[in-house]
Amino acid sequence: MKPLLVCTDFDGTLTEEDSSAPLAPGFFQWLHSAREKGGVSWAVATGRSWEGLREALLHHHAPVFPEWIVTVEREIHRVRDREAVPVEEWNRACTEVHEALFGRHSAILERIEKEVGSHEDVTVIPDAGAIGLVVDSPAGIAHAEKKVREILKDRPEIHTVRNGPYFRFAHADYHKGSCLGHVQKLLDLGPASTFIAGDNLNDLSMLTRRYGRYLACPSNSHEDVLTQVKKEGGYLARTPGGTGIAEALNHFFC
């Protein structure tokens, strides 16, 4: 097997609804046997912080850790001995860009806090250098989506990162897709050698042929993810979570 980069989201993509179930046994089996045939790097791209991801990997008894991680959907780290080593030049630029962005648009963030946060189902939280929203109900999500769209309509440089009930704000150039592109650059691997899997809206930026020839999503994916992966010629698994990702890997690389 030629060198391959396997990039997966974590929650909902490797994990399944029953959190006591073993973590993606089929996925780890595939990874183990693929590595006996050739080089495979595993990257996880998540909305979690490193601490949150590490805790989840330990909680689920992950047999191995990924070699690369994208945290808070925009920072990149290499993992060595189960510790994260930041990719300094990327993360420094990312921090500077976001400090400048949130500084320039503090009034916009205040408006979001006031106008979106006033809904009873919306909680405003401190998040990744700015504010984030956690929304409890479909009515609250509809309200937040509409209001945020209105407030950010003339601000294309601010991007709303959605994942289930969470809303995060980021610079439009920083997302799972651009981070994966940078990891590819560091590994000197292109889309032709990249498999990508995700289940939610924050995965859409990486689930494209621009970054990977092999795209997949589990059966529990958000409707927009199913639609995009289908449109991009990817594989829609019949099974959920990590079982679905193992199904997709076996489909492409058995």
Query: Which positions lie near Mg ion, rule CB under 5 A?
Result: 9, 11-12, 199-200
Q: Which is nearer to Mg ion, 112 or 249 (CB)?
A: 249
- Residue 26, number of CB atoms within 10 A of its CB: 17
Q: Which is nearer to Mg ion, 62 or 112 (CB)?
A: 62
CB of 229 to Mg ion, least distance (A): 13
Strands 122-127 and 130-135: antiparallel
Residue closest to Mg ion, measured at CB = 12
CB of 222 to Mg ion, least distance (A): 9
CB of 145 to Mg ion, least distance (A): 18
Sign of CA dihedral 250, 69, 227, 11: positive
CB of 105 to Mg ion, least distance (A): 27
Surface-to-core class of residue 164, CB atoms within 10 Å of its CB (0-12 exposed, 13-18 middle, 19+ buried) = middle
Are the C-beta atoms of residues 11 and 221 closer than 8 Å to each other? no
CB of 200 to Mg ion, least distance (A): 4
Q: Which is nearer to Mg ion, 12 or 242 (CB)?
A: 12
Q: Which is nearer to Mg ion, 75 or 199 (CB)?
A: 199
CB of 108 to Mg ion, least distance (A): 27
Cα–Cα distance for residue pair 202/175, rounded to 1 Å = 8
Residue listed under structure tokens 């980021």:
170
HSE value, Cβ hemisphere, 13 Å, CA-based, for 150:
10
CB of 92 to Mg ion, least distance (A): 27
Q: Which is nearer to Mg ion, 12 or 177 (CB)?
A: 12
Q: Is 107 helix (H, G, I), strand (E, B) or coil?
A: helix
Q: Which is nearer to Mg ion, 101 or 179 (CB)?
A: 179
Q: Which is nearer to Mg ion, 73 or 75 (CB)?
A: 73
Cα–Cα distance for residue pair 155/120, rounded to 1 Å = 26
174: CB partners within 8 A, 6+ apart: 73, 74, 94, 97, 98, 159
- Across 129-152, b (16+ Cβ under 10 Å) vs e yields ebbbbbbeeeebbebbeebbeebb
